[in-house]
Chain A
Amino acid sequence: MGGASRRARNRPYLTFRATTYVLPLIGILIVVAGFALRLNPLLVVATAAIATGLAAGHGLVDVVSSFGKAFIDSRSVAVVWLALPVIGLLERAGLKERARTVISRIHVATTGRLLLAYLSVRQLTSALGLVSLGGHAQMVRPLIAPMAEAAAENHWGELSEDTRNHIRAHAAAVDNIGLFFGEDIFIAIGSILLIRGFLDQNGIHVEPSALAVWSIPTAVCAFLIHGTRLLLMDRKLKAACERDRERARANEGTGAA
């Protein structure tokens, strides 16, 4: 008896019933294939959403309706764009250029050290629940990224386009990592509330403060790991800039000959 049910459990998914059972996974398949083929992500995700709903056996009207409702319900993620008029206005007046000038006067500031400083500020403020102090639109584009680029220019000269983009990507990454591995130390953040709600439903009561305390070891590891990478990045940037310069000189040489 037990042996038979065990065999049934291990049967591979080949029968018709098993195929309809995994059909809702078509959405994941579409997303993976779509991203791999580099199709437009907006199209890929919308197609996957509609296909998933249809595969689960809902009618087209139902699917488009719940799709529309979910889109409307999640409008709050877009609120950050309200910063664009004032950020654009300040860029027009030279905000990025000013950020560069300020950083060029601080001689100890290298790209890695500057991003390390931002990482610690972002992690600490997020741990206090002040997650809106950072952000890609408000902080990274107008201030952190231009400062990180300027710090590299001061120390290692003109930057190639690739190096510049590499530094920008790291500026955005620091904002994410500081936020993710800081916010869980704050007891009222969404993820802590979700853990608590989920465990409550399963009849287990935990204190938010206990969850927050057990987020600290990971936060420390995140700071050490990413901080080390940032300091090592300075060396790599220096080498990359020297390589770029040599290549430019070699090209000049052949041009002259």
Chain B
Amino acid sequence: MITLDFVYILMGLMMAGIAIVNLRDRTSAKRYNNAAFWGIYATTFLVGSHLPNIVNGTLVIAMVSIVAIGKLGGAPTERTTRVDREASAARWGNRLFIPALTIPAVTLLGTFTLKSMHIGGVALIDAKQVTLISLGCATVVALIVGMVMLRPPVTAPMVEARRLMDAVSWAAVLPQMLAALGAMFALAGVGPLVAGIMERWIPLDTALAVVVAYTVGMALFTSIMGNALAAFPVMTAGIGLPLIVHRFGGDVVIMAAVGMLSGYSGTLITPMAANFNIVPAALLELPDGNAVIKAQIPTAILLLIANTLIMYFFVYRK
């Protein structure tokens, strides 16, 4: 059976390749730092499932130390010139889109077909992870299509992956680091603690006040946790269920659905939601790491107001 481990092996091999390209690049002043960083990251993918937790934790701390003390080198300049690329674009035309669109197309196909496939009575893939496994397979198929079509040097995919990965740099690891922080928050009981403090200091005597406390609380608490899914159980157990539903007789479906969506306004405004806000800023090579958040703030605020109004006008209607 193909499980997520197969995808992790692919990831590990790619990260190892990126480490090697860095190591061989004599023009880069920080090549040993970058090679060590991506090399350790590769290790967490290749053998992380089999290592003791304490070793994995130490590896992660080593990666952080490389970034904090030694610093990473940035992306190398492109090896092709704009003129080359425009000539190549003119030559290949719209065929260039084929490998790029192969990724979503094969992911979709895999999501719908792989789940039900069996070989000798055994499921071909782990059904719970079908989207991620399909995405992993799709990138391999797309790469094969691209290689056959363009016939570049064999090393080109790794050299180009290294160029993009070093542009994203340490931000690539930040989402996982934040997930680890979330686990620590859960271990230390930070969620109920914050909800307790909020309940204690906010006046919650009217039907409108509890709705505002819940929607705004979801947004603020999400921006602290970086994830609406982490904020939802805490805020709903603290305010949503006991006050909106039980004391003021609100509708539980509307409370829950609109409450979760209020949390998304918090996701749009926080650097803690790194994979949505910080990583794309790095990937698009924006000098301001918060540029994506700044573009989202007005929409986030207006939507939070809209969600509060939706909840207030519908949640108490029976």
Query: Which A residues are closer than 8 A to B by beta carbons?
Result: 9-10, 21-22, 24-25, 27-28, 31, 35, 40-43, 45-46, 48-50, 52-53, 55-56, 58, 61, 63-98, 101-102, 130-133, 136-143, 145, 165-166, 168-173, 175-177, 180-181, 184, 190-191, 194-195, 198-199, 202, 204, 206, 210-212, 214-215, 217-218, 221-222, 225-226, 229
Flag if B258 contacts A218 (CB, 8 Å): yes
Flag if A52 contacts B11 (CB, 8 Å): no
A46 vs B273: C-alpha distance when bound (angstroms): 15
Query: Which B residues are closer than 8 A to A by beta carbons?
Result: 4, 7-8, 10-11, 14, 44-45, 48-49, 52-61, 63-64, 67-68, 78-80, 82, 84-90, 92-94, 96-97, 99-100, 103-104, 107-108, 111, 129, 131-132, 134-136, 139-140, 142-143, 146-147, 150, 152, 156-161, 163-165, 170-185, 187-190, 193-194, 197, 200, 224, 228-229, 232-233, 236-237, 241, 252-254, 256-258, 260-261, 264, 267-268, 271-272, 274-281, 283-284, 286-288, 291-292, 294-296, 298-299, 302-303, 306-307, 310
A64 vs B129: C-alpha distance when bound (angstroms): 28
Residues from chain B with a CB closer than 8 A to the CB of A64 are 54, 57-58, 61
Q: How many A-B residue pairs have CB under 8 A?
A: 397
- Shortest C-beta distance, A170 to chain B (Å), equals 5
Flag if B136 contacts A63 (CB, 8 Å): no
Of the candidates B94, B157, B190, B303, the one whose C-beta lies within 8 Å of that of A88 is: B157
Residues from chain A with a CB closer than 8 A to the CB of B140 are 82
Of the candidates B173, B194, B258, B310, the one whose C-beta lies within 8 Å of that of A25 is: B194
Residues from chain A with a CB closer than 8 A to the CB of B287 are 165
Could you pull out 16 A-B pairs where Cβ atoms are within 8 angstroms?
A42-B64, A42-B174, A45-B174, A46-B61, A71-B56, A72-B44, A87-B100, A90-B150, A93-B152, A131-B131, A137-B283, A169-B284, A180-B264, A191-B229, A211-B256, A225-B303
A42 vs B172: C-alpha distance when bound (angstroms): 10
Flag if A180 contacts B57 (CB, 8 Å): no
- Shortest C-beta distance, B46 to chain A (Å), equals 11
- Shortest C-beta distance, A185 to chain B (Å), equals 10
Residues from chain A with a CB closer than 8 A to the CB of B93 are 98
Flag if A176 contacts B296 (CB, 8 Å): yes
Most B CB contacts (10 A, CB to CB) among A43, A71, A215, A225 go to A71
A111 vs B8: C-alpha distance when bound (angstroms): 37
Chain B at the A interface: SS class: helix
A171 vs B261: C-alpha distance when bound (angstroms): 21
Flag if A22 contacts B193 (CB, 8 Å): yes
A139 (CB) vs chain B CBs: closest residue: B104
A130 vs B44: C-alpha distance when bound (angstroms): 29
Flag if B139 contacts A86 (CB, 8 Å): yes
Residues from chain A with a CB closer than 8 A to the CB of B170 are 40, 42
